[in-house]
Amino acid sequence: MPDLNRQWLLKRRPTGAVTRDDFDYVTSAIPEPGEGELLVRNLVISCDPTQRGWIAGDTYLPAVKIGEVVRSFAAGRVVASKNARYKEGDLVQGLFGWQDYVIAAHGREAAPGPVAPGVPLETAMSLLGMTGLTAYFGLFDIGKPQPGETVLVSGAAGATGSVVGQLAKLHGCRTIGIAGGPAKCKMLVDELGFDAAIDYKSERIGARLKELAPKGVDVFFDNVGGEALDAALARLAMKGRIVLCGGISQYDGDRSGGGPANYLNLVVKRGRMEGFLILDYLKRAPEGVAFLAERLLAGKLKDRIDLKHGLENAPETLQRLFAGQNDGKQLLRIAE
Ligand SMILES: NC(=O)c1ccc[n+]([C@@H]2O[C@H](COP(=O)([O-])OP(=O)(O)OC[C@H]3O[C@@H](n4cnc5c(N)ncnc54)[C@H](OP(=O)(O)O)[C@@H]3O)[C@@H](O)[C@H]2O)c1
């Protein structure tokens, strides 16, 4: 175990793609927990597109301040506890940041949450964590797919999208994924059971949708925005629903984007477009975890994890999301 706390601090707000130069890599003394607090050794860090927003400015959470530890979800082991609810060795997760050690306490941003017993940390941070829950609640609560309907997913080979497509298929829907490159598109059909895939890097999404969904798209689960959203709006079926999960194609810019074209088709098709945040569903997390765990154990759902190693590689591991280099849920293991 290191005898110092390595930390990545925010040096400046990125204006384009995130680079290593946006951060400072420093060491400080390992902090001591006070009354009610825990000292947690971070073990696995979650890499999420939303971190780009957290360091750029205020979003649904206040912006990370310059000089503060970079915010991220992480899971780790309690190494010292001054809180009767936790003991040394317990596994916990929360907004623990890019650092070896964190002081966690209830009522703080770094509040400890449980890790289900017997679940590997990687799974707890992926299919049975925020990622799987985002797919589950976004698809079923907002998208409300019916068996036989056509569900389109953008970012389909990514962490959230790959779960959405599998869930929609298990629910009896026809599923179409949009992803970048032939390898990802082949994987969607051959390994995850999508009915079809569109390679947005070499194909026109709108033209392909005309062929693949001649009666239109009933549910579009959007992780990407931009061209994908425009194309789906144009091909929306009557009473179609668009689930706004994210818009990664917009994150490296100033997010002003110009707005979607074809939105008036929502009027013609009596459609609905609705955003959601998984943070609003945390009270219902046990329901989602139980649903997902049952299907994972039955071999009906695959948890695709892309694991990198070393806290020193945190910026480059985050960058992978925006370059489409991740193959499933991007995680960073920083200690065994
Ligand atoms: N609403 C919520 O509560 C919530 C919670 C979690 C995540 N999200 C959102 O869900 C989306 C997916 O997040 P994730 O964690 O599952 O990440 P992810 O999909 O595993 O990784 C991001 C993927 O986005 C694609 N991408 C990157 N830049 C792109 C661009 N310019 N145009 C098109 N595709 C691009 C890449 O795939 P390709 O190789 O296919 O391009 C990349 O693999 C994000 O928008 C995120 O903000 C929302």
SS3 annotation, 104-131: ECCCCCCCCEECCCCCCHHHHCCCCCHH
pLDDT above 90 for 67: yes
278 lines ligand 1 (CB under 6 A): yes
pLDDT above 80 for 189: yes
pLDDT above 70 for 77: yes
Distance (Å) from CA 268 to ligand 1 centroid: 29
Q: Give the model confidence (pLDDT) of 290-313 as tens digits.
A: 999 999 999 999 999 999 999 999
What confidence score (pLDDT) does residue 318 get? 98
Is the pTM higher than 0.75? yes
Tell the residue number behind the tokens 């999420």, with chain if given: 48
| Fold of the domain spanning 130-279 | Rossmann fold (3.40.50)
| Neighbour tally for 93: CB within 10 Å | 25
The residues that bridge with 99 in the sheet, in sequence order, are 7
Strands 305-309, 329-333: pairing is parallel
Of residues 157, 147, 155, 144, the one with CA closest to residue 192: 157
What confidence score (pLDDT) does residue 191 get? 98
pLDDT band at 58 (very low <50, low <70, confident <90, very high): very high
pLDDT above 60 for 1: no
Task: Note the helical H segments in the chain.
Answer: 50-56, 121-124, 130-137, 159-170, 182-190, 205-212, 227-234, 265-268, 285-297, 314-322
The pLDDT > 70 percentage for the chain reads 99
Distance (Å) from CA 46 to ligand 1 centroid: 13
Distance CA 73, CA 252 (A): 20
Distance (Å) from CA 34 to ligand 1 centroid: 38
| Fold of the domain spanning 4-125+304-333 | Quinone Oxidoreductase; Chain A, domain 1 (3.90.180)
Q: Stretch 237-259: mean pLDDT, rounded?
A: 89
Q: Stretch 4-14: mean pLDDT, rounded?
A: 97
244 lines ligand 1 (CB under 6 A): no
pLDDT band at 20 (very low <50, low <70, confident <90, very high): very high
Which one of 153, 188, 199, 223 would you pick to mutate in the ligand 1 pocket, going by the greatest count of ligand atoms within 8 A of its CB?
223
Each domain of the chain, given as residue ranges in start order, spans 4-125+304-333, 130-279
What confidence score (pLDDT) does residue 149 get? 98
pLDDT band at 270 (very low <50, low <70, confident <90, very high): very high
Distance CA 196, CA 188 (A): 8
Is the Cβ–Cβ distance between 289 and 163 less than 8 Å?
no
What confidence score (pLDDT) does residue 193 get? 98
What confidence score (pLDDT) does residue 257 get? 67
The pLDDT > 90 percentage for the chain reads 95
Distance CA 62, CA 246 (A): 18
Q: Give the model confidence (pLDDT) of 109-155 as tens digits.
A: 999 999 988 999 999 999 999 999 999 999 999 999 999 999 999 99
Mean pLDDT, rounded, of the chain: 96
